[in-house]
Structure 1
Amino acid sequence: MSAPEHYDCDVLVIGSGAAGLAAAVTAAHHGLKVIVAEKHHQLGGTSAWSGGWLWVPGNPLAVAEGQLETPGAVEQYLRQQLATAQLDDRVQAYLEQGPRMVDFFQRHTHVQFYSGSRMPDMHEGPGAALGGRSLCAQPFDGRRLGPWLHRLRPPLDLISLGGMGIAGGMDLGHFFNATRSVKSALYVARRLARHGCGRLLHGRGLHLVNGNALVARLLRSALDLQVQVRTHSAALALLVDGHRVVGARLSTGPVRARCGVVLAAGGFAHDRQRMSEVFGHDNHLSAAPAENTGDGIRLGEMAGGVVPALPNGAAWAPVSRVMCGAGHTSTAQAFPHLMDRAKPGFIAVRDDGRRFTNEADSYHDFMQALFAADPADRQPHCWLICDHRALRRYGLGAARPFPLPTWGLRRRGYLIKARSVAQLAERCGIDAAALHATVQRFNQQARQGHDDDFHRGASAYNRAQGEATHRPNPSLGELARGPFYAVKLEPGSLGTFMGLATDRQARVLDAQGLVVDGLYAVGNDMASIMGGHYPSGGITLGPAMTFGHLAGLSLAADAVRVSGNAAPCRRSSRDDVPCSARH
């Protein structure tokens, strides 16, 4: 096709999560006209459901607090975690540019962060840090979005409280302690009252936290920069002129982009065909939005991009299957078990009644251990078990803590309740004698404050995930007071790691390592820079925003070249000089 005479924009971003909005905001800040196309009627994708944490070593907030990185420490940690002797180019770019990304958004946009100065890395070892590498978006007043508030995807209903998001740290601590502390009870009462007023007057809560706050801040920034945001606009095909991507055909019509297209459609967690091809099955239940069906990756492949294989193609997490709705309209939704496993009074066992891993390890590590327990098992599962005291204190999956009732979940068979451990085993199909022995041994070790079998509570991450006030170990507590409860855990994911091969500017690469001109991929449409490993919380959003920012910078720098007289050409990912100049 001949080059179009009219361009609708400079940059077209496909997808409205944190990665896509970061690219849009950066490009618009540098003077480019940007359109964001979202297939769903609500904005934010998986980011809006997330905890909103970013892992950015050496970030400006940590530096301001005096938490300086020891030279070479983070590189040492990543080499060990990624099982490599040499960090690749994109990881180096991330470590260099991540702090600059944070500084840019803090200085020039509505995006503001809290420092996660006490959040340790997930694993112990050389170069690991006890804090200072994590960030979380500050809460945001939804009224500042005006009418766009109702286009923002609300928090995941399964893990929110009546649609109210609860932030980690102090906020969550008050909710856990609402029945134990007058101060916490008053705090929770104010939060609930504020949320109730918001729903009554505006149709939803206004105090936005976690990933909802991050997306809201990015969206407000984009709107202020005159970014055009379109919902109900699925990307059907890319528009190509010669070797250059020049736009996309959307369900609402074609859009031509002078400088390029950014793929940020959220990965393929709900692409049943690709999931089956990659993992050998498609029966896992993802906690990602149903719209994440691999659209961006398919478009990238059609333009010449490639998807490299990774040892772990998804961010695995244990989930429980919650049936929502009634009758023929009921659907299964995934509740991600990210926190309860690490609290005192919980253990996880397989049908043989035995523990198989450290329950307080990360969700990704927990699932790797479940897969390894029986590699031949095509439908692996386990049971998360707790006593009455733990259930009413912390909740168990979709079963909320006191004073919220649990009878509905028991009636639907989600929450299994029994007077004794033996009866619980019978109702779940667990080996009763083995479970009794497991509970007895675990209780003895919990009283002593150390887990000789799986070292639960030994690492800083384990202890941070537990209950700070519990002694002698924040993560170990007996299962002592009946009745006892269980929920079945199955394989699930928070998203996918396998995506399009890119360079350090997030430009899509073909099978020869050459840039597909005019095409970028960020977020879960980009192959994970961690190579399928999970070294710390925030390794999805941290790179997502960093490479979204880098894509925006690259597009802004490329605008002059595209508007010049020289015809665009394919370039090596290792050389930013146009091919005509090199030859």
Structure 2
Amino acid sequence: MKQFSAEEKGFHGTIKAVVEIDEAKGQINKVWAENVTPNTIGAAGIATWLEKANQTKSVEIDAVSGASISTGALRKAAVTAANQSKVLSIKENVDIVSGASQSGSNTVKAGIPEPANYPLLKDEITEYDVDTYENEFDVIVVGAGGAGLAAAATAAENHASVMVIEKQGIAGGTTNYSGGVIQAAGTKLQKETTQFQNDTPENHEREYMKAGEGRVYQDLVHDFTQNSPKNIAWLAKMGIKWTNVYGHTEIPYAKDYFADRIHVYENGGASGNGIILTQHLLNYALDLGAKITYNTAVVGLITNNTDNQRKVIGVVTEGTNHQLKYLKARRGVVLATASIDQNLDLAKDLSPQHYEDVKAHHCWSVPTDQGDGIVMGMSIGAAITGFGGTIDFDARTGNGTDDRVPTIPSIFVNGNGLRFVNEDSTYAYEFRAIFNQEKQLDKPTYQIFGADSINEKTSPWNKESLENDVKSGLVVEADSLEELASKIDVPAVNLVNSVNTWNKNATNGNDPEYGRTNGIKAFSGPYYAYRNTPGNLGALGGLKINKNCNVLDVYNQPITGLYAAGLNAGGWLGSYYPGSGTAIGGIIHQGRRAAKSILGL
């Protein structure tokens, strides 16, 4: 046996592929990877790719959708290494790595499969249309993101047979890109690590109801907040190690109900750390006997009608061979395919703010988040609710994401040079205000700050990075406010007055205009303007459900056998996203609730 190696740059750094070859037989014996960054989406994809490569004794294995950059790099390195042996001759594709991150480059020719975004069936499929079921399970879960995996794990631990169907090549969905944090009130860790000794799920519920602005259903919020501490404990049982708790930034009209509730696990809290959570859920579910099928889409629901009542009894799937298969669900189907994140047409129809983000390619959800579960539900009469909001934040500044990181001395101004919001409010609240101002005036909004603002410990800029952003045009610089106003095309008198008013009030330590409590300091020139730019992690709104996560029809009646969870469901989040840890907390809870409801628990 001889070993050959080669390296390629992946998403998280250089990956080394090692190929062991039996030159006498002219075949590959074993393939492995080195320098893989642990607890990453790339690592999960690489593990999947290596398993297939070693099963087939081949390196001509497609990259894994959902982790195509890292697995594409490994594939190219493995091909290069294998060709060093001289007994193998494998055609290399030089575009595979760069192409992994380019629109339209996910092709079989490049070794990177297209996402399984297959067209949904336009005709309703009933039991009379099905000659033979490929298989049957107690519970079928559509989508292997956080909600789907939580549903699968809960069903499996209660001795149900479970099939999870996932469009990508790895599990986790957009949950993988999150920090994995979860909001919960009254936990032991919250009491040990914060000043909020007397916080309760009831207080948590009050804050969410206030933030919902009359658009959320209290029974859904109540069920979530009451059970979130139990979900924290359930995940700990799987090996998740919760380490600390922090809070979201201000919701101006809900300050009375605030507490530090955002729970962080070991190696979690940053973008991409959600993979730790999803891998724990996946492994737990698989160990308990759940099954999962990758690179496969559910393209339709199977129904029957008894006593004039529609019931969902299974699903139609389409895999990479484009053959339709029929699976029977003995007890229920859980839709967990997220909201309309990457569906431009539905966003235009249902969610104006989200539409602008998707149109501008600011949405970072996985490409398979097309709203399939919502459309399939609607096709058999399901109601929808909760649309209009979105999970927007500023990826460059991280503003408003963490109460330990106050906004620097600065103000946001609209196209008329006027201040319009509490800049230290939670990120999606302030981005709703940003969106409304930009739509009303058809002009951008800006964060205005001074040279002394970046001296704050929480500043997203230091002197060097600010200079680089000015050179690139990301930030506009001027010696005076009048000059800055001219450069960003706002009325100088308004900008000068807005900054002077802020400085005067900040000198007195308060903000009577918008009630801001953090980062209240005057700032001076040179002055800078940064254009507020959203990064989007998904839409809000989905199928209407009751507290059992049973999907409701347009007459508010349950559709037997059909359940929705997480961001596939609406009515538990309002017109903006109320703070980190809400989505992950909600999807874990509703995934569990849906499975328990199906099983009568």
Partners in 2 of 1:479 and 1:557 — Cα distance?
60
Higher relative contact order (CA 8 A, sep 6+): 1
Structure 2 CA distance, aligned partners of 1:416 and 1:245? Answer: 59
Post-superposition offset of 1:102: 2.5
Q: Deviations over 1:486-513 (max 9, x none)?
A: 2222566432222101121212121233
Partner secondary structure for residue 275 of structure 1: helix
Correspondence 1:52 to 2:124: no
Compute the RMSD of aligned alpha carbons: 3.6
In structure 2, distance between residues paired with 1:255 and 1:404: 55
- Runs of 5+ in structure 1 lacking a partner? 141-164, 168-207, 323-334, 458-462, 464-474, 559-583
User: Which residue number corresponds to residue 284 of structure 1?
Assistant: 357
- What corresponds to 2:543 in structure 1? 500
Report deviation, 1:27.
1.4
Structure 2 residue aligned with 1:546: 589
Matched, 1:275 2:343: no
Q: Deviations over 1:91-127 (max 9, x none)?
A: 33223333332332223x2334344266677355586
In the alignment, the residues of structure 2 paired with residue 526 and residue 229 of structure 1 have an alpha-carbon distance, to the nearest angstrom, of: 22
Q: Does 1:15 align with 2:88?
A: no
Which of 206, 216, 220 pairs up with 2:279?
A: 216
- Cα 1:226–1:423, aligned 2, differ >3 Å: closer, same or farther? farther
Cα deviation for residue 428 of structure 1 reads 1.6
What secondary structure, in the 3-state scheme, does the structure 2 residue paired with 1:284 have? Answer: helix
Tell me the residue number matched to 2:155: 27
Q: Which has the larger radius of gyration?
A: 2
Kept after mapping to 2: 8 A contact 1:314/1:496: yes
Q: Report if aligned partners of 1:348, 1:356 keep a CA contact under 8 Å in 2.
A: yes
Q: CA deviation at 1:383?
A: 0.7
Q: Which residue of 2 aligns with 1:130?
A: 259
Q: How far did 1:380 drift?
A: 5.4
Change in 2 beyond 3 A, CA 1:395/1:437: same
Q: Is this contact kept in 1: 2:401–2:579, CA < 8 A?
A: no
Q: Is the 8 A contact 2:249 2:400 kept in 1?
A: no
Distance in 2, Cα, partners of 1:405 & 1:490: 16
Please report the TM-score for the alignment, with normalisation by the length of structure 2. Answer: 0.66
1:113 is the counterpart of 2:242: yes
Letter of the 2:297 counterpart: A
> Does residue 428 of the first structure (1) align with residue 482 of the second (2)?
no
Aligned pair partner of 2:392 in 317, 322, 329? 317
State how far apart, in whole Å, the 2-side matches of 1:266 and 1:350 are. Answer: 33
Distance verdict in 2 for CA 1:112–1:412, change over 3 Å: same
Question: Kindly tell me: are residues 70 and 227 of structure 1, through their superposed partners in 2, closer, same or farther at Cα, counting changes over 3 Å?
Answer: closer
Say whether residues 1:234 and 2:297 are aligned partners.
yes
Q: Call closer, same or farther: CA 1:374–1:64 in 2, change over 3 Å.
A: closer
Equivalent AA in structure 1 for residue 303 of structure 2:
V
* 1:480 alignment partner AA: S
User: Does the CA-based 8 Å contact 2:202-2:225 persist in structure 1?
Assistant: no
Amino acid at match of 1:287: C
- Cα distance in 2, alignment partners of residues 263 and 380 from structure 1: 39
The answer (yes or no) to whether the contact 2:166–2:294 under 8 Å persists in 1 is yes
With the length of structure 1 as denominator, give the TM-score of the two structures.
0.68
Q: From the superposition, tell whether residues 435 and 130 of structure 1 become closer, same or farther in structure 2 (CA, over 3 Å).
A: same
**1:379-414 C-alpha deviation (Å, 9 max, x unpaired):** 4530112234444767887xx54655853x545533
Distance 1:99 1:130, change over 3 A: closer
Write the letter of the residue equivalent to 2:232: V
- The answer on whether the counterparts of 1:387 and 1:480 sit within 8 Å (CA) in structure 2 is yes
Change over 3 Å in CA distance of 1:497–1:515 after alignment to 2 = same
Query: Residue 316 of structure 2 is aligned with which of 221, 226, 248?
Result: 248
Deviation track 1:136-187 (CA, whole Å, cap 9, x = no partner) reads: 33326xxxxxxxxxxxxxxxxxxxxxxxx848xxxxxxxxxxxxxxxxxxxx
Please say if residues 450 and 476 of structure 1, whose CA atoms lie closer than 8 Å, have aligned partners that are also in contact: yes
In 2 relative to 1, CA 313–111 (structure 1 residues): closer, same or farther, beyond 3 Å? Answer: farther
Q: Whole-Å Cα distance in 2 between the matches of residues 375 and 15 of structure 1? A: 34
Given residue 278 of structure 1, which amino acid in structure 2 is its aligned partner?
L
CA distance in 2, matches of 1:52, 1:481: 39
SS at 2:185 equivalent: coil
CA distance in 1, matches of 2:331, 2:552: 17
Alpha-carbon distance in 1 for matches of 2:153, 2:399: 33
2:500 — aligned with what? 440
Residues 526-537 of structure 1: pairs in structure 2 closer than 5 A: 526-532=569-575, 534-537=577-580
Contact 2:429 2:576 in 1 (8 A): no
* 2:278 counterpart SS class: helix
Match of 1:297 among 342, 356, 374: 374
Instruction: Please say if residues 10 and 34 of structure 1, whose CA atoms lie closer than 8 Å, have aligned partners that are also in contact.
Output: yes
Matches within 5 A, 1:46-195: 46-59=174-187, 61-62=189-190, 67-69=197-199, 73-82=203-212, 88-107=218-237, 109-116=238-245, 122-123=251-252, 125=254, 128-131=257-260, 133-139=261-267, 166=270
Whole-angstrom CA distance in 2 between matches of 1:70 and 1:339 = 22
Deviation per residue, 1:338-365 (Å, 9 max, x gap): 4499522322111222211111112232
Q: Does the residue aligned with 1:519 lie in a helix, a strand or coil?
A: strand
Q: Which residue of 2 aligns with 1:184?
A: none
Distance 1:71 1:213 in 2: 26
Q: Quote the Cα distance in structure 1 between the aligned partners of 2:286 and 2:243.
A: 23
Looking at structure 2, the residues matched to 432 and 37 of structure 1 have their Cα atoms a distance apart, in angstroms, of 57
Residues in 2 aligned to 1:126 and 1:287: alpha-carbon distance in whole angstroms: 30
Quote the sequence identity (%). Answer: 24
Q: Secondary structure at the match of 1:283?
A: helix
1:411-445, CA deviations, whole angstroms, 9 ceiling, x for partnerless residues? 55333333443333222212233223322332333
The answer as to whether partners of 1:265 and 1:525 remain within 8 angstroms in 2 is yes
Take 1:127 and 1:48, find their aligned partners in 2: how far apart are those partners? Answer: 33
Identify if the C-alpha distance between structure 1 residues 136 and 502 changes in structure 2 by more than 3 Å, giving closer, same or farther: same
In structure 2, C-alpha distance between the alignment counterparts of 1:525 and 1:480, rounded to whole Å:
47
Q: 2:165 corresponds to which residue? A: 37
Distance 1:130 1:91, change over 3 A: closer
How far apart are the structure 2 equivalents of 1:71 and 1:366?
25
Cα 1:75/1:232, change in 2 over 3 Å: closer
Paired residue for 1:147? none
* C-alpha distance in 2 between matches for 1:37 and 1:420: 58
Structure 2: state its 5+ residue gaps: 1-126, 306-310
The one-letter code matched in structure 2 to 1:447 is T
Kept in 1, the 8 Å contact 2:202–2:226? The answer is: no
Displacement of 1:268 in angstroms is 0.7
SS of residue in 1 equivalent to 2:257:
coil
Q: Does 1:489 align with 2:564?
A: no
